[in-house]
Amino acid sequence: MTQTVHVPLDTRAYDVRIGADLLARAGAEIAPFLARRRVAIVTDAHVGDLHLATVTRALADEGIESVSLTLPAGEATKGWPQFERTVEWLLEQKIERRDVVIALGGGVIGDLVGFAAAVLRRGVRFVQMPTSLLAQVDSSVGGKTGINAPQGKNLIGAFHQPALVLADISVLDTLPKRDFLAGMGEVVKYGMLGDAEFFRWLEDNATRILARDPEALAHAVRRSVEMKADIVVRDETEQGDRALLNLGHTFCHALEAATGYGDRLLHGEGVAIGCALAFELSARLALCSQEEPSRVRQVLNELGMKTTLADIAGDLPDAQTLIALMGQDKKVVDGQLTFVLARAIGEAFTTSDVPADAVQTLLRDALSERS
Ligand code: GLY
């Protein structure tokens, strides 16, 4: 059964459709949005091999013609060269103001294509077809689009909401285990930051999730999308509450920078470790009980995810260097680090008022567990 989460953003409102085999029904889902029966699809080589034929067939079944561009797979695609190539290709394909562009892929494709749609002819509509768990529960919803700059990740971009999101949970079957678990890092984050009941559900359903039980996955994706939609509607452009979505991210960004934004540590893995550190810090600052970080670590362990710095292979810099790397995050304001901490599981809040020595001791202790 397909479920719908509506994102009520006035003139920019849209639906996130969640269910099995949605790509195979993409034509019927998209047809109501088309002024003419022609769309442009942008994907990457890996996702294209797996799913492009399904989507083009589904479109053709509804009489919708499609053209497609396949970019290289991987984070390196998310920069100026492939962005320029995409925008120029869309212009060559004569994509007009009333047309729809489809982003078929994970977070890299969704962010890049969303940004291309934001600037093409001053803005065309786009449909997100997220094919990774991380993209389904996070990056495809909420309208953050963009590319990386040599100076840092996601530094160039725009808020541009999609016209529709099709989260096909059947495609999660083809995800490598590591990518799947990295996506689960973001799912558990939603329970930790704002929904203790969902967190309990994750504790009770870890086995079903690991077996990729379709009903369990649909519930996990829907609840995550509902929570994200709720926060985005309250604070579309991240002036306040949207920052709660960054639970674990201050630590994560430092760890990603230290490990070179690559295969050593995937973003969702860094989020999971970052969330465990954020709860440990909250307990040390007596903001939450000692039990909360243990529960966080336990559920992450049960889901087979990375939980500590000891789970990261290879060398890591010392605590002082990690703190310096945190300071390079784009969310730093006036040099002040912002953390998302918690009063309990499901009760996160943002604060810039964190003693530097508490962070340093926490990281030193976490690093010493590695030796
Ligand atoms: N991924 C965080 C946000 O969309 O705000």
Q: Once rounded to an integer, what is the mean pLDDT over residues 122-141? A: 98
Tally the C-alpha atoms within 13 A of residue 199's C-alpha that lie toward its C-beta.
20
Q: Determine the pLDDT at residue 151.
A: 82
pLDDT computed for residue 283 by the predictor: 98
CA distances from 305 to 49, 159, 183, 273, 296 (A): 28, 31, 10, 9, 11
Confidence check: pLDDT of 331 > 70: no
Instruction: Give the residues across from 359 on adjacent strands.
Output: none
Three-state DSSP state, 337: coil
- Tens of pLDDT, residue by residue over 191-247, are 999 999 999 999 999 999 999 999 999 999 999 999 999 999 999 999 999 999 999
Q: Which of 152, 174, 196 is the last residue of a domain?
A: 174
Query: Which residues' Cβ are closer than 6 Å to ligand 1?
Result: 138, 142, 144, 242, 245
Is residue 329 over pLDDT 70?
Answer: no
Q: Which of 25, 125, 242, 306 is catalytic?
A: 242
Q: Of 145, 174, 203, which closes a domain?
A: 174
128 near 164, Cβ under 8 Å?
Answer: yes
pLDDT at 334 (0 to 100): 66
CATH of the domain at 143: 3.40.50.1970
Same domain, 94 and 227: no
Mutate to test the pocket of ligand 1, among 7, 128, 134, 144 (most ligand atoms within 8 A of CB): 144
Q: How many domains is the chain partitioned into structurally? A: 2
Structure-token pair, residue 255: 């760890």
Indicate if 142 and 209 belong to the same structural domain.
Answer: no
Q: In angstroms, rounded to a whole number, what is the distance separating the alpha carbons of residues 95 and 294?
A: 52
Judge if 198 and 88 occupy the same domain. no
- List, for residues 301-318, the tens digit of each pLDDT value: 999 999 999 999 999 999
Q: Are residues 67 and 158 in the same domain?
A: yes
Q: Determine which residue's CA is closest to atom 2 belonging to ligand 1.
A: 245
Q: Which domain holds residue 110?
A: 3-174
* Same domain? 143 vs 219: no
Burial level of 239, CB count in 10 A (0-12/13-18/19+)? Answer: exposed
- 309 and 323 in a common domain: yes
Question: Which tokens in the block code for residue 87?
Answer: 């925008």
- Residue range 23-38: average pLDDT? 98
Both 225 and 81 in one domain: the answer is no
Indicate the average pLDDT of the chain: 95
Q: How confident is the model at residue 338 (pLDDT cuts 50, 70, 90)?
A: confident
Residues 74 and 169 in one domain: yes
pLDDT at site 327 = 77
Question: Is the model's pLDDT at 261 over the cut of 90?
Answer: no
In whole angstroms, what is the distance from residue 44 CA to residue 49 CA? 8
Domain of 223, CATH number, reads: 1.20.1090.10
Looking at the fold, whether 104 and 22 belong to one and the same domain comes out as: yes
Rounded distance, CA 193 to CA 224, Å?
A: 11
Residues 6+ apart with CB under 8 A from 327: 335, 337
Q: Is residue 230 located within the same domain as residue 86? A: no
Q: Are residues 185 and 323 in the same domain?
A: yes
In percent, how much of the chain has pLDDT > 70?
A: 98
Mean pLDDT of 63-70: 98
pLDDT at site 244: 96
Percent of the chain predicted with pLDDT > 90: 92
Instruction: Give the pLDDT band of residue 359 (cuts 50, 70, 90).
Output: very high
Q: Give me the pLDDT at residue 262, please.
A: 86
pLDDT at 370: 80
Task: Select from 154, 174, 194 the last residue of a domain.
Answer: 174
